[in-house]
Amino acid sequence: MNTKKIKSIINIESSESDQWDIEGILIRVSDTFTAVNLSLLEKLKKLCNKYSLPYHLYFGSGSTDITELQYENSITIALPADKIHSYESNVLSKNMYYMLIFMELINEEIL
């Protein structure tokens, strides 16, 4: 059996935001003091800056908290939406493209 060590875990989700209509991907940080994933956070920020992808850091909690606490190299990136768990959610189309591009860049340059 071929086992591969996991270098990083990138969680992807949608997140409710009152600024859903502003361009940018959301990168969740636990808080300014613990910063469990500081190294990975810096890599993602550098990648966004290198390719001019708009992003915003946000504080929050969600279903991926356990993963982020269990694995040092784990982080959550989110697509901002006006509502979640709804058939009437709105997202900015550009942010969907930014997310797809970001996911590909992460795959090529970080994972």
Domains (range + CATH), the chain? 9-109 (3.40.630.10)
The 10 Å CB-count burial string (b at 16+, else e) for 26-54 is: bbbbbeeeeebbeebbebbeebbeeeebe
- The span from the CA of 20 to the CA of 50, in Å, is 23
pLDDT tens per residue across span 49-87: 999 999 999 887 666 666 666 777 888 899 999 998 888
**With 80 as the cut, is the pLDDT of residue 30 above it?**
no
Q: What is the CA radius of gyration of the chain?
A: 14
**Residue 22 backbone phi and psi in degrees, to 5:** -100, 135
Q: Hey, what are 94's tokens?
A: 């550009």
Q: Residue 40: beta bridge partners? A: none
**What pTM was estimated for this model as a whole?**
0.81
pLDDT tens per residue across span 13-29: 898 899 999 999 999 88
Q: Which amino acid appears at position 67 of this protein?
A: T
Q: Hey, what are 96's tokens?
A: 């969907």
